[in-house]
Chains A and B, each alone.
Chain A
Amino acid sequence: MNAILTIARLTWIEARRRRIVLAALICGVLFLAVFGTAIYFIPPRNLDGPNPLMARAQLQVLMLAGFYVVNFLVVAFAVMLPVDAVSGEIASGVMQTLASKPVRRVDILLGKWLVFWLMLAGYLLFMVGGLVGLMWFLKGFLMRNPFPAVGLMQLEASVLLSITIAGGVRFSTVTNGIVAFGFYALAFIGGWIEQIGVMVGNAASRYIGTAISLVSPGDALSRLAMHGLTPSVLSQVQANPFTSLSVPSMAMVWWSVAYIVAVLALATRGFQRRAL
């Protein structure tokens, strides 16, 4: 455990000094500034108007849009943050000094994974806190319990983080980035195939989409999160572009947890065999 924490500490110092954290925070603050400006000008001005139910629904949709973008930012962060962490250190030879110390290679991977996971969690909480806070401050609308959805978004980020860490063991940095984003794109297109299947009543498309979700569960988790954030009234009338027609099963959560464990196990196996 000490080795994992030391590697985590090293990774954190590196990320901080390389201004990765600062860059992510600046991007986040810029997005929140744009979001805040937009919701300030977009009606309704508050919930005290003639039709508070409609005003609430409009603000809910705006919040969903905000969450949708935050989810995308976190996904991008989950790939870009660790994309160079293993492959770059192997290519430069830095890894030789670490791996020749009395540490297991699995500890090196877990130390890096842990600190990136915490950074993603911190970033997600910061962004969600900003969204909810802005909406409450500017419109007096407080979103009820977004935490289950935030948990699902973090799980989605964890899937991509694990895939990127595992890719770094085998691929060069650029190839790893392409593969990791390719995995996300696969999940994204799988989600659309599934939804179109539901829309037109085509079972084959639905099954293909579900199968793709099992291979790359990111988008399914994202749809599950958005579903959790959508009030049942909005879900039923399909009155927003962020709600899925096909809501993935909660079993996808357990599948994703097992998926992360399996990906990290494969990454460890590959890393142990890798010549450094």
Chain B
Amino acid sequence: MTGAVIQARGLRKQFGSNLAVANLSFSIGRGEVFGFLGPNGAGKTTSVKMLLGLVAPTSGSATVLGAPLGDWRIRARIGFLPEHFRFHDALTGRELLRIHGRLYGLRGADLERRIDVMLEKVNLREAENRPLREFSKGMTQRAGLAQALMADPDLVFLDEPTSGLDPLGRVLVRTLIEEARDRGASVFLNSHLLGDVEATCDRVVFVKQGRAIHEMSLKDAPSTLDVEVRVDRTDGATLEGLAAFGQDVRLNGCVIHLRVKSDDVVPEIARWLVGHGIGIHALGSRRKSLEEWFIQVMGEDQRPG
């Protein structure tokens, strides 16, 4: 991929006899919001840690923002919210951001201004002088988001950023992700909450047992539409006729299922059925959700992790 901010080639990580990541290759483009999906234990967090230099890969290579893995200087352009967000809880919200801002090289008035902006963005202005140990889980997670975005990074890794948040908090995260994308940053989103992924990501990769097994765009290629029609009667000729509108035409009792390419086809199906004297009791269409894709890609044999 041209202008890739992450280019991973055959990343592998083995902890003793446990293979965490088998052979991971993928790339992320500039300004892209990228979803990294997989069941528990698929190696998602280990992959993020390898890309951040927190864990050294057993083999394989990757570049992050053009630099090889382990280049600490490039981390000035990277933000990270870990999955198990724990911070120095004796610090106040403002102190946390001040320390992390200083580590990013911010100083003086610029730093204080940036802290004000971030506290405002994550709705922690009123709690800025309270120690983190008094924060709720959601507040701590929002403080974590603020520290990840302190330096306006070009690449942000968010590992389960909405896990502790209420619906309003989740909307806030989506807004922050969209803001990052609007200013040209790339976001690497690791989340089990597929609704959030669906709402924010341009592209997703499905990971299973440490391998990227499927990749799909959520932005450019709207998925096909599943149509369901309950009719009063049907026969072989009806099914053959409906095959002209879409694929995978199936009959289940009095219900016909088929997959079509766009919404425009649905009224045509209705007209065709009525024109052939077939009574319609119900007609519905819906897109395949990411959750259904997830289950399909991972396979029915996948057990909850």
Which residue numbers of A lie inside 8 Å of B, CB to CB? 2-3, 6, 9-10, 13-14, 17-18, 92-94, 96-104, 273, 275-276
Contacts and interface: CB of A to CB of B under 8 A. Distances in A.
Contacts of B270: none
B54 A99 contact: yes
Contacts of B78: 100
A275 B15 CA distance: 10
Interface stretch (B80-88, B185-193, B234-242, B288-296): B80-88
B49 A275 contact: yes
A93 B84 contact: yes
A13 B56 contact: no
A18 B133 CA distance: 11
Give the interface residue-count category, chain B: 20 to 34
10 contacts: A2-B102, A6-B99, A6-B103, A17-B90, A93-B82, A93-B85, A97-B82, A99-B53, A100-B78, A104-B72
B298 to A, nearest CB: 27
A142 B103 CA distance: 47
A13 B90 contact: yes
Interface string B34-53: 00000000000000010011
Given A9-B99, A101-B104, A94 B86 contact: yes
Contacts of A103: 72, 75, 103
Contacts of B254: none
Interface in B71-119: 72-76, 78, 80, 82, 84-88, 90-91, 95, 99-100, 102-105
Contacts, number: 77
A18 B132 CA distance: 13
A173 B235 CA distance: 74
B147 interface: yes
A191 to B, nearest CB: 38
B75 A102 contact: yes
A207 B54 CA distance: 45
Nearest to A3: B103
Contacts of A104: 72
B90 A93 contact: no
Interface of B: 15, 49, 52-56, 72-76, 78, 80, 82, 84-88, 90-91, 95, 99-100, 102-105, 131, 144, 147
B279 to A, nearest CB: 61
A104 B88 CA distance: 19
Contacts of A96: 49, 54, 80, 82
Given A93-B82, A94-B87, 20 more contacts: A9-B99, A10-B91, A13-B88, A17-B91, A18-B90, A94-B86, A96-B49, A96-B80, A97-B85, A97-B87, A99-B53, A100-B54, A101-B75, A102-B76, A102-B103, A102-B105, A103-B72, A273-B56, A275-B15, A275-B49
B60 to A, nearest CB: 16
Contacts of A98: 103
Contacts of A102: 72-76, 103-105
A13 B91 contact: yes
Contacts of A99: 53-54
Contact of B99 (A10, A17, A92, A100): A10
B91 to A, nearest CB: 6
B55 A276 contact: yes
Contacts of A101: 75, 100, 103-104
- Scoring B73, B76, B90, B131 by chain A CB atoms within 10 A of each residue's CB, the highest score goes to B90
B111 to A, nearest CB: 11
A101 B77 CA distance: 9
Given A97-B100, A101-B103, A276 B86 contact: no
Contacts of A9: 99, 102
Nearest to A275: B55
Contacts of B80: 96-97, 100
Given A100-B75, A101-B75, A273-B56, A93 B86 contact: yes
Contacts of A273: 56
A106 to B, nearest CB: 10
A98 B56 CA distance: 17
Contacts of B147: 97
Given A2-B102, A102-B75, A102-B105, A14 B52 contact: no
- Scoring A9, A10, A99 by chain B CB atoms within 10 A of each residue's CB, the highest score goes to A10
A124 B218 CA distance: 63
Contacts of A93: 82, 84-86
Given A104-B72, A273-B56, A275-B56, A6 B102 contact: yes
B294 to A, nearest CB: 27
Given A3-B103, A98-B103, A102-B104, A14 B82 contact: no
Contacts of B90: 13-14, 17-18
B95 to A, nearest CB: 7
